[in-house]
Homo-oligomer: A and B are copies of this chain.
Amino acid sequence: MTAATDIASSAVSVDAVVLRVGADGAEVLIHRRAAEPFAGDWALPGVLLGAGERISDAAIRAAGKAGVSAAAVDGVGQLVVFDEPHRDPRGPTLSISAWVAVRGFEPSDPETARWVSWEALPPLAFDHTRILADVRPVLADKLWRDLTFTAALTGSEFSVRTALDVTRSLTGSDVDRGNLNRTLKRIAVRSDRESSSGVGRPGALWRWP
């Protein structure tokens, strides 16, 4: 008998905090649950962790349940484990939360999956509201300090506007453009220029070294 079959452990799920950079800065992907419990409710995409499966692989699989293809994923990382015994009505289930950075994905059906800003989150199934509340400061702390996370989120090239929006959306407060520009000068490199946004002076693009 093996360790994987002879013990009565909690089930283990991986709940994905799928992030992209949108108009409101960092946005979270939520989808409507197809199965019970909480069928039809908005929730973070989650899967049960398979035997021997890596957490990052499970997180990508979870993002897939909301329509995200593995090719659209730029990075994954673990966050916090939630172990409250009654968080799942089916029985004790651990939730390992993980961030998944995604680029270029738009849900086909906005009734089934959609991007939401951190300020406009609807009520979510399970303890997912709590998960997002707990996880937001962790993400804010990683920003501009954990370069793996930050680069995955921003993509290879990004504007100062993007940087400002992402920071504000995760920290909840405004940041100074000049100061953030100096931070970028320390940790990133400039490339060409860009405007496209329309009005105003075009800004530089930043890349990761």
A residues lining the B interface (CB < 8 Å): 2-4, 7-12, 48-55, 78, 80-81, 83, 85, 88, 90-94, 96
Contacts and interface: CB of A to CB of B under 8 A. Distances in A.
A48 B8 CA distance: 9
Given A3-B90, A91-B2, A93-B4, A49 B9 contact: yes
Contacts of A90: 2-4
A85 B52 contact: yes
Contact of A10 (B8, B51, B85, B88): B51
Given A3-B48, A4-B10, A55-B81, 14 more contacts: A2-B91, A3-B90, A3-B93, A4-B92, A4-B93, A7-B11, A8-B50, A9-B9, A9-B50, A10-B49, A51-B91, A52-B91, A54-B83, A55-B83
B9 A48 contact: yes
Contacts of A88: 3
A49 B51 CA distance: 15
Contacts of A85: 52-54
A92 B4 CA distance: 7
22 contacts: A2-B91, A3-B88, A3-B91, A3-B93, A4-B11, A4-B90, A4-B93, A7-B48, A8-B51, A9-B9, A10-B12, A10-B49, A10-B50, A12-B94, A51-B91, A52-B91, A53-B85, A54-B83, A55-B81, A55-B83, A78-B80, A81-B96
